[in-house]
């Protein structure tokens, strides 16, 4: 396959690791607005480099979009118009109107689009989904989600991120739908500023919490932080009438028991999302290549990404207005 990779930043470099050595990729072309950065990434893995226009015009079989959020919609649209199957990191677009436009454009073109929610490709989340769907947990009553970063992103990133619910917790919202098989009906969100002033200056918070009501009465709670000094903490607890399962509770979970004589987990804590989800990213890209070849359908379409985006919008609105927000208000 002839694959293009747009974006030579941190996440683009991560994808280049998997694409550069993948047995199905015969040629990898890396494009970035900073061509020298693209060349620096391409050289060690034997890829070609250029600007995004040159890569998109190179007769691709598939394209991976890992550029800044503001460029996603345009590049997805161009890929669809060219008939090139596309993988794009979340979000589809920075706002709801543009997301809907991309959805309609992709549907009209009939081109496969896969939006990057890597947790769907993590072994723990996949096992939890199977356990929920086959009844091993009994009737699901409660879900708890945690996403906590060990250190905050820089101020310039926060200013354009869209806020903690759109930027960070959108992964929690997507995986909540995917694992439980249910839809979110309402969100009540709150937040606090306990760290650097640039979060508040950007209209954002660095500490978050929310209660989400699902369409079958299940309640989900959510917590997040940009200052989790113990390490990178991502977990999902699912409690049913027959069993309780926890995703992310392993030897490297950044937790310590207060009970005497208990020293588990004892491993070195996860340092960041890339280390924690390395196998999931590899599985995700491998699956996308199968999508591009027409062997499997997209596991996360624009429609699926839209649902997570709507929950993030509802949470952001709830935080801003201090009230419960029903998803029906946004549809």
Rounded mean pLDDT of 205-211? Answer: 98
Q: Is the pLDDT of residue 181 over 90?
A: yes
Rounded mean pLDDT of 9-34? Answer: 94
Q: Which residues of 246-271 are buried (b: 16+ CB within 10 A; e: fewer)?
A: ebbeeebbbeeeeeeeeeebeeebbe
What pLDDT is attached to residue 21? 87
Q: Is the pLDDT of residue 38 over 90?
A: yes
Distance CA 195, CA 245 (A): 32
What pTM was estimated for this model as a whole? 0.95
What pLDDT is attached to residue 226? 98
What pLDDT is attached to residue 273? 93
CB 29 within 8 A of CB 2: yes
pLDDT (tens digit, 9 = 90+) per residue, 241-268? 999 999 999 999 999 999 999 999 999 9
Q: Is the pLDDT of residue 303 over 90?
A: yes
Q: What is the mean pLDDT of the chain?
A: 96
What pLDDT is attached to residue 331? 87
What pLDDT is attached to residue 29? 98
Give helix 302-321 / helix 96-109 axis angle, nearest 10°: 170
What pLDDT is attached to residue 82? 94
Q: What is the dihedral of CA 131, 137, 143, 147, to 10 degrees?
A: -40
């Amino acid at each position: 396959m002839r694959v293009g990779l747009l974006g030579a930043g941190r996440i683009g470099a991560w994808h280049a690791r998997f694409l550069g050595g993948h047995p199905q990729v015969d040629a990898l072309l890396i494009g970035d607005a900073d061509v020298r950065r693209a060349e620096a990434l391409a050289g060690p893995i034997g890829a070609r480099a250029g600007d995004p226009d040159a890569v998109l015009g190179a007769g691709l079989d598939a394209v991976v979009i890992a550029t800044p959020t503001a460029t996603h919609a345009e590049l997805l649209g161009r890929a669809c118009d060219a008939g090139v199957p596309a993988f794009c990191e979340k979000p589809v677009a920075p706002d709801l109107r543009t997301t809907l436009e991309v959805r309609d454009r992709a549907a009209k073109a009939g081109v496969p689009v896969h939006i990057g929610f890597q947790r769907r490709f993590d072994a723990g989340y996949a096992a939890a989904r199977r356990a929920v769907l086959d009844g091993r947990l009994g009737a699901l009553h409660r879900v708890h989600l945690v996403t906590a970063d060990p250190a905050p992103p820089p101020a310039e990133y926060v200013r354009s991120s869209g806020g903690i619910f759109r930027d960070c917790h959108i992964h929690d919202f997507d995986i909540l739908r995917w694992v439980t098989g249910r839809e979110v009906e309402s969100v009540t969100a709150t937040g606090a500023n306990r760290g650097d002033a640039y979060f508040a200056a950007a209209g954002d918070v660095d500490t978050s919490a929310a209660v989400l009501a699902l369409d079958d009465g299940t309640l989900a709670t959510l917590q997040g932080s940009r200052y989790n000094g113990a390490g990178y903490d991502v977990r999902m607890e699912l409690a049913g009438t027959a069993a309780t399962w926890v995703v992310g509770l392993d030897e490297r979970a950044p937790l310590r028991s207060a009970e005497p004589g208990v020293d588990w987990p004892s491993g070195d804590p996860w340092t960041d999302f890339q280390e924690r989800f390395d196998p999931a990213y590899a599985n995700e890209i491998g699956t996308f290549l199968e999508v591009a070849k027409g062997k499997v359908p997209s596991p996360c379409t624009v429609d699926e990404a839209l649902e997570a985006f709507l929950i993030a919008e509802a949470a952001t609105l709830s935080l801003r207005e201090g009230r419960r927000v029903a998803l029906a208000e946004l549809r």
